[in-house]
Structure 1
Amino acid sequence: MGVSRVFLRHTHPSVRSSDDRMSSLELYKLYRHGDRSPVAVYPKDPNTELSWPMGLGQLTNEGKEQEYYLGQLLRRRYGDNLKFLNKTFNVKDVYVRSTDYDRTLMSAYCMLAGLFPPTKEDSWNKNITWQPIPVHTEPTKDDHLIYLDNPCPVFTSKMEYFMSHDPEVLQVKNNTQDLVKYVAEHSGLPATFQGMMKILDTIFCEQTHNKKQPDWLNADTLKRLNYIQKTYKVKWWYPTHEMAVLKGGNLLKKIYEDMQTKLNTPANLTQKMMVYSAHDSTVAALLKTMKIFNDRTPTYSSCVMIELHNDNTVRILYRNDTFTDVIVTLTLPGCSEFCDIDQFHTILNDSMPADWRKACGLSDANEQNFKKFGYDVEQGLAKKTETSCVVNVIMYS
């Protein structure tokens, strides 16, 4: 995978020479929501749910600002600089879809406020510098595109095998037995590796918001927990390409099919930009599926941009730093920065399942059965078995 920078904060956003050829037909954008409260608190957590006024798993004011800034960044790049987006919003040009979570829906509204500040023509109230822009969603049980915690039995089986047989996993588990026991004793969580993994997201959110930590979370314990989080958490989400495809292949296939539609349809009949507001797990799955993921956690408001150009080439850009404007170019293995769409398809053909339900081992009957009995991952925590926790416990988003 090749990486190069496109532009930096505090520089004039006249983009590098490769952008001189920018004459896009369509832009596909997938980004993570902004800063949020933890999705859960642990049994002995001194910071209870009441410590978070908006509740658990909710977008914070910092998160709203991060998404608004992302919208402004994209306005500067694709509007002011490259003249790709119009200043005025037109529903025919932009389609926005979000997972059915408060934090992703609110992130979409905040990002759009930064991307499309009302012009004189858009203004509907002189006292309000904002305009309503539609955001579409589907119930989580029906969303197999950007909500990734719906049932996929083949993925679950492969993950269970990986977590119980992979040499690296077994070594980490063996080296952290004392830590697992210590965390369980003080947190009230199960004395299992999965139980310990549950606490990582909660601690991260509490530290980010300067919540007081209990004495047992001393410097050495935090250092060990943070190392596990940074080194293994995202790496183990999708440990193989095949597993990543079961989670990210649907979205990649949709993007590729939309590209083909755009290339074969008059420009005024399809949107200029498709936007997806989702989670770090969604961003990681798409990048891993495209064989360009570096196993680093997608930060709040991280953003993947896939540009389709009018010379039938595709370019992939990635912003993975909440606090700067750094955007890097990601190059598919065996391709150049501007990758011919036929070569794009050749490289990623094995990343787009012909029949996702079949690949996942789903039939209409067992999928309805999953829905009937509530097999759902609410706020990142599995409701069912301990083995399902193996799959989902480290996939907070």
Structure 2
Amino acid sequence: MNEKLVSVVLITRHGARTPLHLVDGIFQIDFKSDLLDPFVDSDILVKSLDNQRDLSNVLSYKDQKYLNRKLKGGAHVGQLTCVGEEQMFNLGSRLKEKYIKEMNFFNEKYDPSEIYVRSTHLRRTINSAKSVLAGLYQKRPSLKLKTPFLINVNDLETDYLYPNLQECPLIQEKRELIKQSFDFYNENENNLNEYSNFVNNIKNKFNFRVNDCLNPLFVYEFLDEIHSRMAHNLSIPKDVEILLDQANRFASIELGLEMMENLDLNCGKFINLLKLLFKEIVFKDKNNILDYYKLNFFSAHDNTLIALLIVLNQINEENYIHPPYGSDLVIELWKKFERKHYIYFVKLYFNGKGISVKDEWEFNKKNLCKINMNSRIKTTNDVQEEDTEFKMDFSNFIRILSKHSIDENFYKAMCLKSQKES
């Protein structure tokens, strides 16, 4: 075959973590402090994007808040656990098997000039990135390298690997408008009543305040502790367990609608970054400028992956799978020699399985009530063998990204306009 792999982009959701949101009305269990014992022993060097600051020992404002909150049992909120580190190490091992052992694409020795790693400035995503790199390059989780893994971060206040409500309050404003309008239920009054009844049932059963229920992602956040318990094999009350199917469905509707309606503001800048990155790599490769990275790795969050999967037509009203802890999206850039020149194309994999991308995507809110969330928390150990490989012409891939990519100026103009009007 005359096909050649050019570069790989990896986007991940962090591994299993302790909860961010607790349900006060259910029996509290111990999230013991030893959950935070490391599974991986690795040194890391955390640098600012401009490479001017060493942030290895600097906490973001969110992590400062998280580390001031202890759960019953001693663990802090929102932290990657040993279970999460193991998930990400296993992901790295899977990537090693393919790209080092089978394809001989990456060097078997860690080389920061070959791979670029960027994370949000949060301990759970930074440590997830560390664990993936350990799976790629360490012989064992406990056998660290002499060289630290380099991880780049942006200031959390201005980052765009996730929906940044602090930098752009318009995102939150639009969330609230979406919830208030219930446009996605207007076609069927029974659906509206079903959702309202479920929210009221949870509110009364678990003693939520009225203001809590006004949260546009109320059911989604209600499930946060439940999913964390499930990931760590901790007990779930029976009165919660019987609500799981419904809760997963309505959480999917809340998050799915919000991400679809707010897609450009939520992740448009990151989509634009990916578009420009791929175009730059192709330009350099065509001109034999080989200083691009073989791997660009972004360690991010569930809503980052959801946005990309929506753009790639993998999430719609009838096919909604919430990315479990440790999920990954791989985009491979390939070239093939044909008729005296190279043509470029991409192959895509979600959690190790090949996915086919349709050229056109149209969101139909009338059918949104049909979507459902896969409530089982998967790990990378659950991944089956890769499906048939799917190819997509590079120009079509860029065209799809362009539909939802926004540049810095447009993003700032939208967010500033909202602040001025308020």
**Alignment TM class, shorter chain as reference:** 0.7 to 0.9
Q: What is the Cα deviation at residue 23 of structure 1?
A: 1.7
Q: What's the counterpart of residue 403 of structure 2?
A: 350
Letter in 1 for 2:10: K
Q: Does 1:115 align with 2:136?
A: yes
Letter in 2 for 1:102: R
Q: What's the counterpart of residue 24 of structure 2?
A: 43
Instruction: Tell me: CA distance 1:160–1:83, structure 2 relative to 1, closer, same or farther (3 Å).
Output: same
Q: Does 1:327 align with 2:353?
A: yes
Q: What's the counterpart of residue 160 of structure 1?
A: 176
- TM-score where L is the length of structure 1: 0.73
1:35 alignment partner, SS class: coil
1:23 alignment partner, SS class: strand
2:149 alignment partner, SS class: coil
Letter in 1 for 2:110: F
Q: What's the counterpart of residue 378 of structure 2?
A: none
Given that 1:304 and 1:316 are in contact with CA atoms closer than 8 Å, whether structure 2 keeps it comes out as no
Given that 1:68 and 1:114 are in contact with CA atoms closer than 8 Å, whether structure 2 keeps it comes out as yes
Instruction: Tell me: CA distance 1:29–1:355, structure 2 relative to 1, closer, same or farther (3 Å).
Output: same
Given that 2:169 and 2:419 are in contact with CA atoms closer than 8 Å, whether structure 1 keeps it comes out as no
Instruction: Tell me: CA distance 1:178–1:249, structure 2 relative to 1, closer, same or farther (3 Å).
Output: closer
Q: What's the counterpart of residue 330 of structure 2?
A: 305
Superposition map of 1:23-38 within 5 A? 23-38=4-19
Instruction: Tell me: CA distance 1:360–1:34, structure 2 relative to 1, closer, same or farther (3 Å).
Output: farther
Rounded to whole Å, the distance in 1 between the matches of 2:295 and 2:177 is 39
Q: What's the counterpart of residue 81 of structure 1?
A: 102
Given that 1:353 and 1:359 are in contact with CA atoms closer than 8 Å, whether structure 2 keeps it comes out as no
Given that 1:33 and 1:279 are in contact with CA atoms closer than 8 Å, whether structure 2 keeps it comes out as yes
Instruction: Tell me: CA distance 1:112–1:222, structure 2 relative to 1, closer, same or farther (3 Å).
Output: same
- Unaligned segments of structure 2, at least 5 residues: 30-69, 336-341, 362-388
Q: What's the counterpart of residue 43 of structure 2?
A: none
1:237 alignment partner, SS class: helix
Q: What's the counterpart of residue 8 of structure 1?
A: none
Instruction: Tell me: CA distance 1:149–1:282, structure 2 relative to 1, closer, same or farther (3 Å).
Output: farther
Alignment partner of 2:269 out of 250, 253, 261: 250
- TM-score where L is the length of structure 2: 0.69
Given that 1:97 and 1:136 are in contact with CA atoms closer than 8 Å, whether structure 2 keeps it comes out as yes
Letter in 1 for 2:13: R
Q: What's the counterpart of residue 279 of structure 1?
A: 301
Letter in 2 for 1:211: L
- Unaligned segments of structure 1, at least 5 residues: 1-19, 120-126, 321-325, 371-397
Number of residue pairs aligned between Structure 1 and Structure 2: 334
Q: What is the Cα deviation at residue 284 of structure 1?
A: 0.7
Q: What is the Cα deviation at residue 50 of structure 1?
A: 3.2
2:257 alignment partner, SS class: coil
Letter in 1 for 2:331: I
Letter in 1 for 2:353: I
Rounded to whole Å, the distance in 1 between the matches of 2:168 and 2:94 is 36
Q: What is the Cα deviation at residue 278 of structure 1?
A: 0.6
Q: What is the Cα deviation at residue 343 of structure 1?
A: 2.9
Given that 1:28 and 1:274 are in contact with CA atoms closer than 8 Å, whether structure 2 keeps it comes out as yes
What is the percent sequence identity of the aligned residues? 22
Q: What is the Cα deviation at residue 97 of structure 1?
A: 0.5
Deviations 1:309-350 (A, max 9, x none): 234423242333xxxxx4223324269943332232334322
Q: Does 1:128 align with 2:143?
A: yes
Rounded to whole Å, the distance in 2 between the matches of 1:128 and 1:227 is 42
Alignment partner of 1:341 out of 394, 402, 411: 394
Given that 2:333 and 2:347 are in contact with CA atoms closer than 8 Å, whether structure 1 keeps it comes out as no
Rounded to whole Å, the distance in 2 between the matches of 1:281 and 1:128 is 33
Given that 1:34 and 1:103 are in contact with CA atoms closer than 8 Å, whether structure 2 keeps it comes out as yes
1:135 alignment partner, SS class: strand
Give the RMSD, CA atoms, in angstroms: 3.2
Given that 2:7 and 2:294 are in contact with CA atoms closer than 8 Å, whether structure 1 keeps it comes out as yes
Q: What's the counterpart of residue 143 of structure 1?
A: 159
Given that 1:248 and 1:282 are in contact with CA atoms closer than 8 Å, whether structure 2 keeps it comes out as yes
Deviations 1:226-279 (A, max 9, x none): 3433x4244223134xx2122222222212212222223344322111100011
Q: What's the counterpart of residue 339 of structure 2?
A: none
Deviations 1:344-377 (A, max 9, x none): 233432222245644761239959xx9xxxxxxx
